[in-house]
Structure 1
Amino acid sequence: MNTYKCLHFKYIDMQQLLDTAEKIRTMEIRGAGRIAEAASAALRDYVLRIKVTNIKDFNKKVDEAANILIQTRPTAVSLPNAVQLTKRHTATEVSEAREEILRNADRFLEQAGQALEKMGEIGAKRIHDGDVIMTHCNSHAALSVITTAFEQGKDISVIATESRPRRQGLITIKELNDHGIPTTLIVDSAVRYCMKDVDTVIVGADAITINGALVNKVGTSQLALAANEARKNLLCVAETFKFSPKTIQGDMIDIEERSPEEVIDSDILAGMPNVKVKNPAFDITPAEYIDMIITEVGAFPPQMAYTIIKEHLGWEFTKMG
């Protein structure tokens, strides 16, 4: 039986939160930013339903709910960051703690909504009239830059990868088409061949480490390597909550391995006992392949990742669990 369905019977007051957790796990809710917002909202709504008077019991329930959300997607750093930013409080009374968490969630959701617009404005300054842009997967952050540049009247076009195995690129080309932006869809393995026609590569992020490395949809490092070889700029667009504080302590970011059934039908695979499938959802792009990281607070070289973590997430070494 599914873990979350089992939990439903044990924690009946968590139904809505468990539903959100399941949607995140199965990628019904996808994209690092959208995952973060959904988790923050789910925790906020759950806190409203907690019926305890003891602060220790309250904190235990909040931690329990937070862990359920965090465990759904191990790579998307935006998820634990959003949960931690939402749940932290200094209150000693339940009513005060509840109010503080609600304020945290409302603030996070408001800032997350504003971040896309700010990143679009900042990143669009890096786009020139006539540019051909290559993008990968389906990143609202990356698309905010592309659509903002187009709305500014810049004559641009986009090459979008299919982004297998889940083909998120099909979502991207639909959104670009709806904006009226000329777009070409390519298979992932055509990236190097098509790079000669590209001016700038723009991608999103699921996590950014202390040394400025980018963790993103598998295939991103292929784009970065091809762009570097062809001497084309690569811009990463990411909200500050996608930076990973735990990497300051030396923690590694887990790369999520997803089901082989996303790649090949299980019945076909069952008939080939000597074959196994490796399906990593993400890969790691070294900082030296990234020209600039666009955030809602400005554009930075990847070497400034530590500054972003310390000043904008506000977590010191000793405060990170």
Structure 2
Amino acid sequence: MSEPTGGETAPSPAPIVNDSTTTSGTPAQPETAAPPPAPPSKDAKTTEAAAGPTKLSAAELKKQKQAEKQARRAQAKSSGPPAPQKGPSNKEGAKSQKESKQSSKDDKSKSLPMRRRNSQPSVVTLKETKKESRKESKKDSRQPGLFFGHLYNQPRQHSIVGATKEVHPAILALGLQYSSYIVCGSTARMVAMLLAFKAVIDSYQTPVGTSLARHLTSHHLSPQIDYLRSCRPLSISMGNAIRWLKDIIIKIDPSTPEAEAKRDLISEIDDFIRDRVTAADKLIIDHAVKKIENGDVILTYASSSIVEKTLVHTHKAGIKFSVIVVDSKPLFEGKQLARKLAHHGIPVKYFLVTGATHAVKQANKVFLGAHAMMSNGRLYSRVGTAIISMLAHAQSLPVIVLCESVKFTERVALDSIVGNEVAPSEEVLSEGERQELLPLKPHLPAGLLTKLGESTDKAGVEKANSSGEVLKWIEASDNLQMLQVLYDVTPAEYINMVITEYGSLPPSSVPVVHRLSMDKQETRK
């Protein structure tokens, strides 16, 4: 081996695998020729590191590390020996040393997507399998619900636990009345909500540094509305009233004193209840009374406050008629209506929905209440209303709907699946029905009893039980789920007339009246 220039004696270098250039640019001649496909050994690396600084550029080191990673991944996948790696030759090393500064940025930008491309398939596959397994578990848990599975995600609050400190005591009490059906019916729920909002506004104080119009809606009313929604989904009329109230609050002049602004808001709420509910009901009753004649047999379904007022007012007017009340679970509202009408001296017959076919044959007119009237003329009301309307249409009976314009909406409903409300499972079976099912416990499958943690012997099965165990049977059963929706949609072709405070109109005119009432409300503001 030739001596280096400069007259100094150089130590004898160890044999290396890859050829490289010296710091002076003169290529070093190896003593023994190493096979090019063999990867560098640990001894060679340590000897090369002790000989002096590395001879590879930054770009080449990155490429070499990248190639080693790719080889290890390929070896792990194929469980075979890694592919042989070739080190850079003298020409390639000299060329890369000259162009390292120019291509370093390009190599950095290229190395990142190359690593992502090589490692991406395995990562994506893992994530996809996890997502698919989660989707399958969700599908399995929702499978008994079928089309109504999404409705079980609706919150249902039965206590004040979890309510924020911003919720007013009047709202807490009202929410519990909603969830227990003490306050039931869309009109009654809307009026009770507005009266509770009066107490909320009366006790409200605007914080320093803000205005009533900005703070009251977003920071004070929103927690109240969220709590009411958690107790039971808001009705269409409640949503219309909330939008109206927020619009009134936003338009308050910031220069108005707080006491005067609160007094004006409370007065506006009273005017809204008077105009949109009290006066509207009186006008509807006046129009509906003209549709009832002596000797008529009026059929109604469940319970509606406006239908009840119309029938009582007609009876007091001296018109002789009788009423057939058709009812169904889970609320059995028709029982209360039949009791009230009988108390006023009106002849009443009571049917369950299973006997609706016979009840329709005995009637000559049908009066129905409404939860909401959709923009396409369809009636959204208590579940079972659609059956009554179709049966009446088959018997050529006129179907008349009594509804205030505050229940009109611009929404369109095509079915009862997308938007609805589900009654809790404990409300589907009454206490008496659960007691009657308790003797069937010995006939339950052994697998279900094992899942419930009870013994399968006869002595263990015949122990004293409570009616709440029937609900546990249903919850533990994999192929049984109780479903009770509260509303259904009646097509417009089964409705002959809709009576509102604006008069009698066909279902197709509902969007026109809704737009008229909204314009009238805007002009009043």
Output the TM-score relative to the length of structure 2: 0.56
Deviation at 1:293, TM superposition (A): 0.9
Tell me the distance in 1 between the aligned counterparts of 2:343 and 2:158: 38
Deviation at 1:205, TM superposition (A): 0.6
Tell me the distance in 2 between the aligned counterparts of 1:125 and 1:101: 37
With over 3 angstroms needed to count, the CA separation of the structure-2 counterparts of 1:253 and 1:179, relative to structure 1, is farther
Higher relative contact order (CA 8 A, sep 6+): 1
Tell me the distance in 2 between the aligned counterparts of 1:166 and 1:298: 31
Q: Are residues 1:282 and 2:478 paired?
A: no
Deviation at 1:189, TM superposition (A): 1.1
Match of residue 20, structure 1, among 164, 170, 174: 174
Match of residue 49, structure 1, among 203, 206, 212: 203
Deviation at 1:172, TM superposition (A): 0.4
What is the DSSP-based 3-state SS (H/G/I as helix, E as strand, rest coil) of the residue aligned with 2:188? helix
1:123 corresponds to: 288
1:5 corresponds to: 160
What is the DSSP-based 3-state SS (H/G/I as helix, E as strand, rest coil) of the residue aligned with 1:277? coil
2:271 corresponds to: 107
Tell me the distance in 2 between the aligned counterparts of 1:86 and 1:178: 38
Tell me the distance in 2 between the aligned counterparts of 1:187 and 1:178: 20
Tell me the distance in 2 between the aligned counterparts of 1:108 and 1:192: 41
Tell me the distance in 2 between the aligned counterparts of 1:98 and 1:253: 39
Letter in 2 for 1:58: L
Unmatched runs of 5 consecutive residues or more in structure 2: 1-155, 435-467
With over 3 angstroms needed to count, the CA separation of the structure-2 counterparts of 1:5 and 1:149, relative to structure 1, is same
Give CA-to-partner distance per residue, 1:20-56, whole Å, 9 cap, x none: 1221232110111111100111112101111114222
Deviation at 1:4, TM superposition (A): 5.8
With over 3 angstroms needed to count, the CA separation of the structure-2 counterparts of 1:70 and 1:9, relative to structure 1, is closer
With over 3 angstroms needed to count, the CA separation of the structure-2 counterparts of 1:315 and 1:256, relative to structure 1, is farther
Please give the root-mean-square deviation of Cα atoms over the aligned residues, in Å. 2.4
Tell me the distance in 1 between the aligned counterparts of 2:234 and 2:491: 16
Preserved contact between residue 157 and residue 230 of structure 2 (Cα < 8 Å): no
Give CA-to-partner distance per residue, 1:211-255, whole Å, 9 cap, x none: 11111111100100100100001111111111113449xxx9721
With over 3 angstroms needed to count, the CA separation of the structure-2 counterparts of 1:197 and 1:49, relative to structure 1, is same
1:213-232 equivalences under 5 Å are 213-232=378-397
Output the TM-score relative to the length of structure 1: 0.89
Tell me the distance in 2 between the aligned counterparts of 1:297 and 1:179: 29
Preserved contact between residue 85 and residue 104 of structure 1 (Cα < 8 Å): no
Preserved contact between residue 87 and residue 104 of structure 1 (Cα < 8 Å): no
Match of residue 377, structure 2, among 212, 215, 231: 212
Deviation at 1:300, TM superposition (A): 1.3
Residue correspondences, number: 312
Q: Are residues 1:157 and 2:322 paired?
A: yes
With over 3 angstroms needed to count, the CA separation of the structure-2 counterparts of 1:313 and 1:18, relative to structure 1, is farther
Point out 4+ residue stretches in structure 1 off by more than 3 angstroms.
1-4, 6-9, 66-73, 245-248, 313-316
1:245 corresponds to: 410
Tell me the distance in 1 between the aligned counterparts of 2:506 and 2:296: 22
Deviation at 1:9, TM superposition (A): 5.1
Give CA-to-partner distance per residue, 1:53-92, whole Å, 9 cap, x none: 4222222212332343355443621121222223322014
1:313 corresponds to: 518
2:69 corresponds to: none
Tell me the distance in 1 between the aligned counterparts of 2:205 and 2:197: 14
Which structure has the greater CA radius of gyration?
A: 2
Letter in 2 for 1:10: K
Q: Are residues 1:31 and 2:192 paired?
A: no
Deviation at 1:193, TM superposition (A): 1.8
Match of residue 193, structure 1, among 353, 358, 361: 358
Tell me the distance in 2 between the aligned counterparts of 1:110 and 1:65: 23
